[in-house]
A = this chain, B = another copy of it.
Amino acid sequence: MSVKNLIFLVLLLFIPVSLAAHYLEWGELVVFITAGLAILPLAAWMGTATEEIAVVVGPSLGGLLNATFGNATELIIALVALNAGFVNVVKASITGSIIGNLLLVMGLSMLLGGLRHKEQTFQPIVARVNASAMNLAVIAILLPTAMQITSTGIGEQTIQNFSVAVAIVLILVYALTLLFSMKTHSYLYDVGMVEVEEEEISHKKPNLWLWSGVLLVCTLFVALESEMLVDSLEVATSQLGLTALFTGVIIVPIVGNAAEHATAVTVAMKDKMDLSLSVAVGSSMQIALFVAPVLVIAGWVLGQPMDLNFQPFELVAVAVSVLIANSISSDGKSNWLEGTLLLAAYTVLGIAFYFHPIIEGIG
């Protein structure tokens, strides 16, 4: 058994612990921390289950599955938070996920990979297509904020309508991206896919029913733990002296994306930088093209005022992250210093969000 699996098994113990903390009322802070830890192995197993099922159902349907459930943990946490009315935390977690993938995940991958290997190279073809799609998506989800900032007396309803329109365009673009990567230009992605399979999936034919069951059970438990995480969030974070903005931008995305983080760093240390960057950039792209638009539409369905009007400083932070990530990844080479630069950028932004005065509340 690998060290990774061992850690996951231990973390699984936090499921009963978090339930006990919740029902025996050990305090919101304990619930918050244990629920957060319990989500980590569940998210990892959801990922494995999705990939095993993808192998059985074939590349087309499997690709669709992967594309839809790739950020499932995050989507579930966000939906639970949205339903509880924590609109600002949900918005912050969207920008936080983008920043986290581009700076923290890519930075750790380049740093730890670079400490083992003097210089690492990656083929920028797939990364470029993803990067362009991501640039577009990131810009699109920030446009309502830009509109709000650059005009006076714009109505909330206008921002809401514009956000829904943007969301629909982005979901269409996402569908076209899938068509591109799975049908018309799938050959561009073949190398990466083979690596994923070698890396992650056993060579026996997986059992469809077994893994569907695992996926279902894990999803239910993630939903349950997310419920406890979100319920305890307000009290726990204020006990820790953290603002809603900091919690949404830094804490929630780390919990929601931990599994991808682990994958990206692990493969980077094995000198598979293509795959590692693909995970980081692909995940950012999925957040911006799929998760964020789904949340806007879900907010409309749930009657929550969920739009794409972020804090102006979130806009600055995302723009900065995209610029630095593009600047560092565009030459197809990486080393430990470039990883450090990304992590330094993440640290500085983290400090900024820590110092940023609370303007609005959690909801």
A residues engaging B (CB < 8 A)? 118-119, 124, 128-129, 131-133, 135-136, 139-140, 143-144, 146-147, 149-155, 158, 161-162, 165-166, 169-170, 172-173, 176-177, 180, 184-185, 311-313, 315-316, 320, 323-324, 326-328, 331, 335-338, 340-341, 344-345, 347-349, 351-352, 355-357, 359
Contacts and interface: CB of A to CB of B under 8 A. Distances in A.
Given A139-B323, A147-B356, A324-B136, A185 B337 contact: yes
Contacts of A144: 352
Per assembly, the copies of the chain total 3
Given A129-B337, A151-B357, A184-B336, 8 more contacts: A131-B327, A139-B345, A165-B355, A169-B347, A173-B340, A176-B337, A176-B340, A326-B327
A341 B133 CA distance: 7
B349 A143 contact: yes
B147 A352 contact: yes
A185 B359 contact: no
Given A132-B338, A331-B128, A351-B166, A152 B185 contact: no
Sorted nearest first, the 7 A-B pairs with minimum C-beta distance are A150-B312, A150-B313, A180-B337, A146-B316, A162-B355, A136-B341, A165-B351
Contact of A140 (B149, B150, B152, B348): B348
A136 to B, nearest CB: 5
